[in-house]
Amino acid sequence: MVQHATAGPQESGRRTRTAGRVALALVVGLCVALTAACDKDSSSASGSSTSKGKSGSWQAGDCGGPDPDDKPDGYRAFDCGDPGATFKALEVAPASILPGSVQCPAGTDLMIRVSVSYGSSSKDKNKGGGIPTNTVCGRNLSGDHPGDAGAGGGQLVKGDCVSSAAQEVACASAGADAFKVLDLVKEKEQCPAGTTEPMELTMSIGRPYDVICAGDA
C-alpha cells in the first residue's frame, strides 16, 4: 500500500452580472496550480531524509518539500531541519471529494491531498490516483506566505481583499474597486456591521459559506 498526495484546490469567488442582478460563481484553484505527490508508506515515512520514528500518516508539525526523484510536481516528507524541507503541516484534515469542503486554518499556503493506492510502488506511482484519506494544510518555511490574510493567495479568509468580481486580490495592490472581507457566512443577513457589499455566491456543495461580507478596503 502506497500513499500519494496531490495539491488540492483552494477557493475564491468571481461575480458576474445578469439582467441587472448579481450572480456569483466560485473560482477554484487560485492559490495552488500544481500537482503534488507526497509519498509515505503505510508503516513508515519513505525516503532517506524522512524523519525517523514517524508513522506513515501525516501529522501536524511534519515537514515536506519537493521530491528530487519525482520532478516537477512530486513532494515527500523531510525532517524540518533538512535543506529540502519547504513547508510544515499546520493541520491534517480528513480528505473530501467535494470541492471546497476542506477548510484549512488561516496562514495555509498550500493544500496537499493525501490518497492511498494498493499494489503500486512509489517509483511507479500513479500521480493523483487512489482513495483520498487526508488533506495536509501546509505553511511555507520561507518568508513567502501567500496564504496570509490580505496577501492574495490561499483560501479566502477574513481580512482578505476581493475585487468587485469577488476574485481574491492582494490588498497591497488592490484597485479602487476592491473590498475587504469582513466575514464569510451562509446568509447575507448574517453579515456584520460595516458590510457594504454582501456578495452572494452560486451554490457549491460542501463550501461552508455562500456569502462574502465585503466592506471598504
**Confidence (pLDDT) at 75:** 75
Place of cell 496562514: 107
Identify the pLDDT of residue 3. Answer: 60
Instruction: Quote the CA–CA distance of 132 and 119 in Å, as a whole number.
Output: 16
Do the beta carbons of residue 75 and residue 5 sit within 8 Å?
Answer: yes
| pLDDT value, residue 149 | 95
Cis link prior to 72 (omega < 30° from 0)? Answer: yes
Residues of the chain with pLDDT under 70: 1-56, 70-74, 99, 117-129
Give residue 204's pLDDT.
85
pLDDT attached to residue 1: 52
Q: Is 190 strand, coil or helix? A: helix
Q: Cα(87)–Cα(111) distance, rounded to whole angstroms?
A: 11
- Distance from CA of residue 83 to its chain's centroid? 24
pLDDT for the residue 56: 62
Res 200: pLDDT = 96
Provide the H-helix boundaries in the chain. Answer: none
In whole angstroms, give the CA distance from residue 35 to residue 24.
27
- Give the Cα separation of 35 and 51 in Å (integer): 23
Q: Collapse the DSSP code of 117 into the 3-class scheme (helix H, G, I; strand E, B; otherwise coil) and give the result.
A: strand
pLDDT at 116: 74
